[in-house]
Amino acid sequence: MTSCFCFPTTCTVWGPVKLLFRWGIDLYLLGLAMAVITCPSALIAQATAVESEVHRRNYISQKIRLHTDVEPDRAKRMLRRMEKTLRRISSYWRTPLKGSIECYVVEDINRWPENSFPNPSARALIQFVGGVTLTKMQVDRRKSELKAIVYATPAPGVVEHEVVHAYCFQTFGKHGPDWYKEGMADVAGRLADPRGAARCALEITSYLRDQTFRPVDEIVNSGSFTQPLIDIKNRLAEVTKNSVQTYLAPSLSVWGAPEDEILQNVQSAYRWSWALCHFLVHNPNYSQRFRAYGQGHLDGNGIQFAKWFADVRKELDFEFDFFVRHSRPGYRVELCNWDWSLPRSPLKERAFLNVSVRAAAGYQATGCSVSAGEIYRYRTSGRCCLSQDGAPVTSAGDRSGRGKLVAVVMQNYKLSKEIELGESGSFSAPSSGHLYLRCRDDWGSLADNSGSLRIRLLARPASPSPGLNSNATSERLLEPVANRVSRK
């Protein structure tokens, strides 16, 4: 593949600052560009489209000025999604957008004559990289103003991603390290999608699982991984400057297999950045602390990730690994966080522990530490539903095993193999550690579950076996865990 520098899905980039002086008082910070790499072939193939000003319209909302040639209904929906993205990120970073954002969304470049765009490089960038935000600082005698202009194709999520960059630039003038900047733009861009499932796109989650696992440290220390894309952008801009009409041939002639490999690496960095940001934004164990971490970068007070999360790093590393291995469309990080705060103690002989396990959650702490090889007996009651209209099932689960009560033992942040339980019986602990329980269901299908199961655990069964009416030494309902390890 020597002539394609597209990613199968969208990917974005910021670059280093490069100042270009134009018209005396405007500085173009071309290097602060975010590009979404898409396949340009679709645009190129439309070379025969008839240029028509009829297609180009302007749409103005409270915060966005949209210039586009997509058909009106689609343009209005796009504008609503962009506004929604802005509302969400303004709320997340607790700061309203400064000014308004100007966006050009181009479906067919042939409908846009020369000089359609404020920046002459935009034409080539839209065709070759799919999405880009160019920024400038307008300076006059009284004030200076940061201004970002978004250029994008109408591919899903591209313009929302760019709007996040434009918001950060105009509002804060800073963006944090590459992994935070690009990861958060992808996370925030996907939030505007009403389908919760789209938050964990299949092509990304399956890609991550197929890759060698990338630890948190490697992601946060990935540096300026977008630089190769900036180089492409600069090369395209240079070609365009020389000849607008012949931009295609020279750029393809200088593109080869080494560049393809570079882009594969960049693409990988984007996906791992999304994964870490998505996980940290949504996991209630770390979300508040992560918000403060990012806010520090946007406010210009860079914080070292390692220091900021030092006291919860083992927990964070474990949960991120778990997220990568289990995420899929429909996966909800906030339902699958682990409870690290519940004190655990061994069950004394003949003692009972009553716990309740919610169906709409991942593994839930019991507060019971078990010993390897020890036998534990249990009995259960209650029913849960595995979908909104589904029939209730007991802890035996349905015919396919969904809803069945299962357990794992955690020792030193490692999990045992899953232990299948059921309505009643006994099990041998495969290792020593903290016992966790859950109602088995697909990890992408927990959100619509309801109900809970009650479990009574007994250590070292006495004879005769006590029933469920025996006095319990402790009783606990496993509540959702919210930021128990978060800093305020």
Note the helical H segments in 283-334.
Answer: 287-298, 305-308, 313-326
Nearer to Zn ion, 275 or 357 (CB): 275
Q: Which of 366, 314, 317, 313 is nearest to 339 (CA)?
A: 366
Answer for the pair 402, 445: CB distance below 8 angstroms, yes or no: no
According to DSSP, the β-strands at 450-459 and 352-358 are antiparallel
Helix, strand, coil % (nearest 5) of the chain?
Answer: 35, 20, 40
Count of positions on this chain that bind Zn ion (CB under 5 A): 4
**Residue 12 or 449: which CB sits closer to Zn ion?**
12
Please, what is the minimum distance in Å from the beta carbon of residue 208 to Zn ion? 18
Per-residue string for binding with Zn ion, 176-215, x by CB under 5 A? ------x--x------------------------------
Q: Which window, 4-12, 55-63, 243-251, 413-421, contacts Zn ion (CB under 5 A)?
A: 4-12
Residue 93 CB, nearest distance to Zn ion (Å)? Answer: 16
**What minimum distance in Å lies between the beta carbon of 34 and Zn ion?**
4
Q: Of the two residues 130 and 329, which places its CB atom closer to Zn ion in the complex? A: 130
Shortest Cβ contact with Zn ion: which residue?
12
Q: Which is nearer to Zn ion, 133 or 283 (CB)?
A: 133
Binding mask 455-474 for Zn ion (x = CB under 5 A): --------------------
- Looking at the DSSP bridge assignments, the partners of residue 131 are 36, 152
Q: Does 10 bind Zn ion (CB under 5 A)?
A: no
Site map (CB under 5 A) of Zn ion, residues 20-59, x = contact? --------------x-------------------------
The CA-CA-CA angle for residues 414, 415, 418, to 5°, reads 170
The end-to-end CA distance of the chain, in Å, is: 51
Q: Does 152 bind Zn ion (CB under 5 A)?
A: no
Residues 14, 31: Cα–Cα separation, whole Å: 7
* Identity of the residue, 274 or 338, whose beta carbon is nearer to Zn ion in the bound complex: 274
CB of 102 to Zn ion, least distance (A): 17
Provide the pairing of β-strand 144-152 with 131-139. antiparallel
Whose tokens are 């080869």? That residue is 256
Q: For residue 94, what are its two tokens?
A: 């607790």
| Spatial separation of the C-alpha atoms in residues 184 and 297, rounded to whole Å | 12
Buried b vs exposed e over 204-237: b needs ≥16 C-beta within 10 Å? bbebbeeeeebebeebbebeebbbbbbebbbbbb
Residue 225 vs 322, nearer CB to Zn ion: 225
**Least distance to Zn ion, CB of residue 164, Å:** 8
Least distance in angstroms from the C-beta of 234 to Zn ion: 16
SS3 348: coil
CB closer to Zn ion out of 66 and 185: 185
Q: Within positions 158 to 177, which residues make up the interface with Zn ion, using CB under 5 A?
A: none
Tokens at residue 42, please?
A: 């679709």
**What are the distances in angstroms from CA 355 to CA 167, 194, 203, 360, 473?**
46, 35, 38, 15, 12
Residue 204: CB minimum distance to Zn ion, A: 15
CB of 156 to Zn ion, least distance (A): 15
- For position 12 contacting Zn ion by CB under 5 A, the verdict is yes
Closer residue to Zn ion, CB minimum distance, 274 or 309: 274
Closer to Zn ion at the Cβ: 152 or 455? 152
Task: Tell me the residue length of the chain.
Answer: 488
Q: Would you say 183 or 362 has its CB closer to Zn ion?
A: 183
Tokens read off for 397: 């689960």
Closest approach, Cβ 267 to Zn ion, in A, equals 12
Q: Cα–Cα–Cα angle for 73, 75, 78, nearest 5°?
A: 110
Binding span for Zn ion by CB under 5 A among 12-20, 146-154, 397-405, 459-467:
12-20
Residues at the site binding Zn ion, with contacts judged by CB under 5 A: 12, 34, 182, 185
